[in-house]
Structure 1
């Protein structure tokens, strides 16, 4: 049993938390500098900062030589990484997150050359134009899971495909390169909670459940990767994310012009899940989230539901003003890229730091980044008005 106090500093904020007697680890948070990391055109890695190299090496050894797991930043959100080949490592991911075991994991790589070496499969031709444009980056593809694959069946949830991604964040990529194993890494949050875009978010959810968090600053994209299935005919967009549907059609060319968007599966569905985000409630803070398309309906909702004694917040974006709203008003940003980057961060801030009861969020249209934004908001929201 662990009975101690852990003192951490995140961006000048002091955070004192007493470890639960049921905690498994004293969670260590190590700083890493993404600007000190470089990959050349031949995927050779150099790290100029000795402390960053030391901390990355420590995390990589955890992944490659043990069954423990590590949280780390990517350009999308913070990930909770384990060895995709190791059953016990994957079990530790599911345990830490309290994640349903039929929800498969994305395996992350550090170079395209790892695909044939680690998975014993060649990259399908249909993905090549998209990968040339969006890798490294927030795009996940499905490749065949062949009988001689070393991938854990727990990583794929027993599926005949493997979801893989090559992240662009230098810390994520360097960690995977040093570990030299595919790193299964869902978002580093408790299951159903808003995804983490800062190390402090990870610590809030998983303190005592993971041994190590690499703190490399905030994630830029703010929502998870786009997941596509080019093995189906026509191809399928399984989860909208950092690469838009419009970009996939434009860059993918003729083979991707008829790409269809998969529907979310019901939580009680028996249909196999090909990728994260197709099933189960996601991204929800403790506060009740109300998705709003018409600002004039908010005051009526507050009156009907007698919320005048509740702590309320409104997140605006492109059109709402919030002038008559009696509560906290904050902006997600004027562009969809800004909304995407700020969404999870502000949901967590209002919920965890300001303890609001209800969060009203302005909806956006589904063009470009809007499809991914609305996908996340519809899963987080209890109601739409």
Structure 2
């Protein structure tokens, strides 16, 4: 059985001890809960893939307590320093070339010449990282391709008995994974995954950053780029103006008349920040309750395509993508 540790000095110390010994600990960040392992121990990293049923061609983000520790593992450039100063600690992942003598295992990096690194803002996560004093590889703490967890209960629903512990720091405040920016070519920075830092915020520092590119289920260059991802069991229908009687409804904005027997409103006031924080809980709730009610699908009302709306739409597009049983995509049983 997986231990549930309180976010106390004792709980953090226990979690750090487990990680140093090569164990798996899920911990909360401001984005979602991550499934952590010592990135310098290949066997520990391998346990992440086993616990998640994760494709081994998908690289992992390594987490650090502060920018100085992260920059010891990669070769930063001037733009990396500017973005780190502006957004670290925070929901931003940077991809940069590996430094000579980097201690992070090839398995965590998928054998690439680059690394994905970030410094989370969550105080409990940073205290844990300080105590471990090693890079911690941590994808989202769920079965591969499934809905990301934003509280400790979600983690246990997915991974109880498959990991050593979960450090419960309460609900995540952002609720969407980090923004991923590729800086391996400083002349051509690229936004690979929209997330908690918006495109507009990035453009204020890096006006020439390119927009996300279409990806495939071939080996991705960064985490979180598989086409089918964040998937509930029920199929997802996007940009639905009306829900059918056999559909649950993921709504956004002022409530409208609907025949849907089950509704979760991401934000009745139309706040994208509130919608981002409630997205994964909403998908999970509609999926569980909808299945129990015999519903066949989740209909999703349109989401604005600006600010955090881009990140929300990215996650919804992946949730609606074809599943493995359809012949494409990646998800876990």
What is the TM-score when the length of structure 1 is the normalising length? 0.79
- 2:298 pairs, out of 359, 364, 371, with 359
Which has more strand, going by share of residues? 1
For 2:19 and 2:175, locate their aligned partners in 1 and report how far apart those are by CA, in whole Å.
25
2:65 matched to 1:110? yes
Describe the superposition over 1:163-212 as per-residue Cα deviations: whole angstroms up to 9, x where unpaired.
10000001111111100001100000111111000111100000110010
- 2:161 pairs, out of 208, 213, 226, with 208
- Tell me what 2:329 maps to: none
2:160 matched to 1:160? no
- Tell me what 1:236 maps to: 190
Tell me which structure has the larger Cα radius of gyration.
1
Compute the RMSD of aligned alpha carbons.
1.7
Structure 1 pair 159–324 and aligned structure 2 pair: CA distance change class (3 A): same
What are the ranges of 5 or more consecutive residues in structure 2 without an aligned counterpart? 323-333
2:9 matched to 1:56? no
- Tell me what 2:202 maps to: 248
- 1:349 pairs, out of 278, 285, 289, with 285
Question: Is the 8 Å Cα contact of residues 263 and 278 (structure 1) preserved in structure 2?
Answer: no
Tell me how far 1:129 sits from its aligned partner. Answer: 2.2
For 1:31 and 1:358, locate their aligned partners in 2 and report how far apart those are by CA, in whole Å.
36
For 1:122 and 1:228, locate their aligned partners in 2 and report how far apart those are by CA, in whole Å.
15
2:33 matched to 1:99? no
Tell me how far 1:122 sits from its aligned partner. Answer: 5.0
For 2:135 and 2:100, locate their aligned partners in 1 and report how far apart those are by CA, in whole Å.
17
Question: Is the 8 Å Cα contact of residues 87 and 152 (structure 1) preserved in structure 2?
Answer: yes
2:145 matched to 1:192? yes
Describe the superposition over 1:90-127 as per-residue Cα deviations: whole angstroms up to 9, x where unpaired.
1000110001011000000001221354x2x5532112
- Tell me what 2:170 maps to: 217
What are the ranges of 5 or more consecutive residues in structure 1 without an aligned counterpart? 1-25, 33-51, 303-307
Question: Is the 8 Å Cα contact of residues 75 and 99 (structure 2) preserved in structure 1?
Answer: no
For 1:79 and 1:101, locate their aligned partners in 2 and report how far apart those are by CA, in whole Å.
17
For 1:213 and 1:264, locate their aligned partners in 2 and report how far apart those are by CA, in whole Å.
34
Size of the alignment, in residue pairs?
316
- Tell me what 1:317 maps to: 252
Question: Is the 8 Å Cα contact of residues 228 and 321 (structure 2) preserved in structure 1?
Answer: no
- 1:257 pairs, out of 193, 196, 207, with 207
Structure 1 pair 324–366 and aligned structure 2 pair: CA distance change class (3 A): closer
Secondary structure of the residue aligned to 1:292 is coil
Question: Is the 8 Å Cα contact of residues 264 and 279 (structure 1) preserved in structure 2?
Answer: no
- Tell me what 2:24 maps to: 69
- Tell me what 1:132 maps to: 85
Structure 1 pair 209–339 and aligned structure 2 pair: CA distance change class (3 A): same
Bigger relative CO (Cα 8 Å, ≥ 6 apart): 2
- Tell me what 2:308 maps to: 369
For 1:110 and 1:324, locate their aligned partners in 2 and report how far apart those are by CA, in whole Å.
47
Describe the superposition over 1:307-354 as per-residue Cα deviations: whole angstroms up to 9, x where unpaired.
x5x4x31121136x3413231122101211111000001111122245
What is the TM-score when the length of structure 2 is the normalising length? 0.90
For 1:151 and 1:160, locate their aligned partners in 2 and report how far apart those are by CA, in whole Å.
11
Tell me how far 1:382 sits from its aligned partner. Answer: 4.8
For 1:324 and 1:183, locate their aligned partners in 2 and report how far apart those are by CA, in whole Å.
45
Question: Is the 8 Å Cα contact of residues 115 and 122 (structure 1) preserved in structure 2?
Answer: no
Tell me how far 1:290 sits from its aligned partner. Answer: 1.1
- Tell me what 2:327 maps to: none
Describe the superposition over 1:30-57 as per-residue Cα deviations: whole angstroms up to 9, x where unpaired.
121xxxxxxxxxxxxxxxxxxx111101
- Tell me what 2:179 maps to: 226
For 1:86 and 1:172, locate their aligned partners in 2 and report how far apart those are by CA, in whole Å.
20
